[in-house]
Amino acid sequence: MSVVGARPNFMKIAPLHKAFQKYPSISHRIVHTGQHYDANMSRVFFDDLELPHPDVYLGVGSGSHAVQTARIMVDFEKIVLAEEPNMVIVVGDVNSTLACSLVCSKFLIPVVHVEAGLRSFDRTMPEEINRIITDSIADLLFVSERSGLTNLRNEGIPDSKVFFVGNVMIDSLVHFKEKAARSTIRKALGVEGKQYAIVTLHRPSNVDVRDNLASILSMLDKISQRQTVIFPVHPRTRKMISEFKLGERLLSNANLILCDPLGYLEFLCLLESASLAITDSGGIQEETTYLGIPCFTMRENTERPVTVSEGTNTLMGFDYEKTAVEAETVFQGNYKKGRVPELWDGKTAERITKEIANKLLLN
């Protein structure tokens, strides 16, 4: 049984679901906790990634970390008791990852954590707590980059539980790259054949502080004077722009294109042709590294250090003025080129399912 809760999870479960089809003796079921409150966007992602509709949908919705985690635990416990899964797969670092791992650990159901070992070493991030606790109780830990091996070893996780397999999200990118290229989103937004930057920002440190959000919008205004900026606005970000009454400056700038959150294929299509990505998301740091697109991450740390040491990612902290200046440098063709990290080859799901099948079928 695999658990998805928020959109980043879908890109990681989709390749695993496909890979499990090679093992007819293993039944793979998908539980969607409904942690992500935009049901329409969830459906779009399932369709884009050619996933079957989830076998179980819990519909827990949004809430504080405590409320959301508790709801997931209560509802997922009922599913575990009814279904009696032999093994549960959790991915990433969202509240669903932690909640379902805790439930399974109480019932002695083996937990598999895909994307284990990533650390920002910043415990003010809720995701960091989720990562640490999930890894401490997981039975099989699949690691996407070598920093994860070091982190888990330092935390006392036995090597026998840990497997370096590469990045399963890159499997989705490799598989759907050609399909995404057929998207009409560039034409729809009026940027076909043009250069543009793409922006995604949603973390509280960037958008919940009025001065920071105002500085971000000022930064985007400056960058858009040089090149078109496409900004799919996260619901949280849109809410804060409205609360802080910062929307007027956006409406007056024709070179700053605001749109609703996009499906996976539409966003991948835009990302592949972008001259620059500006983000505070984890997954986009990885996707841009694979695609060779320069990426500015508006955070002071990252749990994906290989994107900085080997890839195209640069940590910008909260220096929005510097980011605008550096964007001009990128537009002139001067940026870190990077390379694709080890085992980011589109075959990670095959390696993971092989290990899981060995474990299940031997038992």
CB of 145 closer than 8 Å to CB of 311: no
β-sheet bridge partners, residue 90 = 113
The one catalytic residue in 17, 28, 202, 234 is 202
> What does residue 48 show for φ and ψ, rounded to 5 degrees?
-60, -40
Measured between alpha carbons, how far is 293 from 22 in angstroms, rounded to an integer?
34
228: DSSP letter: E
Place of tokens 């819990």: 58
CB atoms within 10 A of CB 27: 11
Length of the chain: 363
Determine contact, residues 331/275, Cβ cutoff 8 Å.
Answer: yes
Give the closest residue to 202 by CA, choosing from 226, 227, 168, 238.
Answer: 238
Residue by residue, DSSP assigns 13-78 as HHHHHHHHTT-TT----EEE---SS-HHHHHHHHHHTTPPPPSEE-------HHHHHHHHHHHHHH
| C-alpha count within 13 angstroms, C-beta hemisphere, residue 159 | 2
Distance CA 296, CA 317 (A): 9
Catalytic annotation on 234? no
The answer to whether 361 and 22 have CB atoms below 8 angstroms apart is no
CA 222 to chain centroid, in Å, comes to 28
DSSP E strand boundaries for the chain: 2-4, 30-32, 56-57, 88-91, 111-116, 140-143, 162-164, 196-200, 228-232, 256-259, 276-279, 295-297, 313-315
Catalytically active residues are 202
